[in-house]
């Protein structure tokens, strides 16, 4: 059992356990110690999104890393994939992103990357947890070995150039009207700049962070304003990022949202045509739509499913040699370019396919008809509701009713006290009935 780490690092309400300055200090000391070996001067890079609590967490982490002898390079607001990329580029021993991703401002989190730019394994996180609980005096170095901290001023420019290089040489977006919603988050400067430098006519929203408005009625979890803006500006496409810009959703010219499954289907089709798709398939999670799986099967491509969380998608991709994977929520991992989900780079791949086709986004990005799918979240106060006999029976009965024409995915959230109940199948009415029965069973015991 892990005490601090969830499915995507450490996360919680800011200034409450575990997301306190004290915990951040100890995480810095523990993670720094875990990645310190040999006599060379070790270094860690730190980025963050735009939450007010980021100042508290960042300063505490910096103090922790310095106390165990690591030099710290601070980027300020920068997308998660940029931190992963710069961890490798700057030959750092460790990368840190301070963000709670798509969560509201009052939450925050700490994501850690190894020197290869990949998120840490469960085993490494457990090792860090043991050091968090250790006597801090055993981790601190002598006064003459303390680390130094400095700001890296060109981190944003480095990432913009890296993102642009994922496109073919000479590719331009001239003539395209693009609306981008940066969720008042980490990409509020870099995303509009990258699109403008590629020649697009850019209309940016969600670019006025104030510490409180990250993901607030904007971004990939709330694309309504983006949909309206696309219609208002008669734009060709809308791009919705989340707070740390590791995911994206697309909006077509009519102001209709397009999810991560459709984005993966488009990229898989495009890359298959260009003979760039590795391992004859795509990796997605158990939450991806059955319609997506059937679409890939029609092209003789496999859909390999992982547990929920982009880190688990990446693990499956590395194990099987796949270069495309992601989640329905918009985490798209293109391992030819990045070690984690990258909303901007994924959006650029979509733009490239649209530009090449000469067709509207509504045609290019809607490649399959999704199977009716329903997801409901049930909050619980304590205990293990999924272990209750009545809940187990409801799940078993629901699975039998759906049969081979549908499926159920019931899982606890890794970041909140929620049980997520997802059902899908060809019969929308049956799916709704099955999901509601399981939700009622959970509420009865929760």
Residues taking part in catalysis = 101
- Please state whether the peptide bond connecting residue 187 to the residue before it is cis, i.e. omega within 30 degrees of 0: no
- Cβ atoms of 143 and 179 within 8 Å: the answer is no
Query: Maximum Cα–Cα distance for the chain, whole Å?
Result: 69
Contacts of 281 (CB under 8 A, 6+ apart): 296, 301, 302, 303, 304, 320, 322
Q: What is the DSSP letter of 403?
A: G
Q: What is the DSSP letter of 116?
A: T
Q: In what order do the strands lie in the sheet with 373-379?
A: 373-379, 418-425, 406-412
- Cβ atoms of 148 and 332 within 8 Å: the answer is no
Strand partners, 16: 19
Distance CA 364, CA 266 (A): 7
Strands 281-285 and 324-326: parallel
Q: Which of 9, 242, 247 is nearest to 112 (CA)?
A: 9
Query: Which residue shows structure tokens 């649209």?
Result: 354
For 237, the token pair is 């496409």
Contacts of 38 (CB under 8 A, 6+ apart): none
For 36, the token pair is 């310190």
């Amino acid at each position: 059992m892990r005490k601090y780490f969830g499915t995507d690092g450490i996360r919680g309400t800011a200034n409450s356990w575990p997301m306190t300055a004290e915990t951040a200090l100890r995480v810095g000391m523990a993670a720094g110690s875990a990645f310190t070996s040999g006599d060379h001067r070790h270094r860690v890079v730190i980025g963050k999104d735009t939450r007010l609590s980021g100042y508290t967490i960042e300063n505490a982490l910096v103090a922790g890393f310095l106390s165990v002898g690591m030099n710290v390079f601070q980027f300020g607001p920068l997308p998660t994939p940029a931190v992963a990329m710069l961890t490798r580029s700057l030959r750092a021993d460790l990368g840190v992103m301070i963000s709670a991703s798509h969560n509201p401002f009052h939450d925050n989190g700490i994501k850690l990357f190894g020197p290869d730019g990949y998120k840490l394994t469960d085993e490494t996180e457990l090792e860090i947890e043991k050091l968090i609980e250790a006597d801090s005096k055993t981790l601190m170095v002598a006064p003459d070995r303390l680390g130094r901290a400095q700001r890296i001023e060109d981190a944003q420019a480095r990432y913009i150039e890296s993102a642009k290089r994922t496109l073919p040489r000479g590719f331009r977006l001239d003539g395209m009207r693009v609306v981008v919603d940066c969720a008042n988050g980490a990409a509020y400067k870099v995303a509009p700049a990258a699109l403008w430098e590629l020649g697009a006519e850019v209309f940016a929203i969600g670019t006025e962070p104030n510490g409180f408005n990250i993901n607030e009625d904007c971004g990939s979890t709330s694309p309504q304003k983006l949909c309206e803006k696309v219609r208002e500006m008669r734009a060709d496409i809308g791009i919705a990022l989340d707070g740390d810009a590791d995911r994206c959703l697309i909006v077509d010219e009519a102001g209709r949202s397009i999810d991560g499954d459709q984005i993966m289907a488009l990229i898989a089709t495009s890359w298959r045509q260009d003979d760039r798709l590795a391992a004859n398939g795509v990796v997605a999670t158990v939450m991806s739509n059955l319609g997506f799986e059937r679409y890939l099967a029609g092209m003789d491509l496999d859909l390999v499913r992982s547990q929920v969380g982009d880190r688990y998608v990446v693990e499956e991709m590395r194990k099987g040699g796949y270069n495309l994977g992601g989640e329905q929520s918009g985490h798209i991992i293109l391992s030819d370019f990045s070690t984690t989900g990258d909303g901007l780079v994924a959006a650029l791949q979509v733009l490239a396919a649209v530009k090449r086709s000469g067709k509207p986004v509504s045609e290019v990005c809607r490649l399959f008809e999704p199977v009716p799918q329903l997801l409901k979240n049930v909050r619980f106060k304590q205990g293990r509701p999924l272990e209750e006999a009545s809940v187990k029976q409801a799940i078993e009965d629901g699975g039998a009713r759906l049969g081979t024409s549908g499926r159920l995915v019931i899982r606890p959230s890794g970041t909140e006290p929620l049980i997520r109940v997802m059902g899908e199948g060809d019969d929308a009415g049956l799916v709704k009935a099955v999901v509601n029965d399981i939700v009622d069973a959970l509420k009865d015991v929760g």
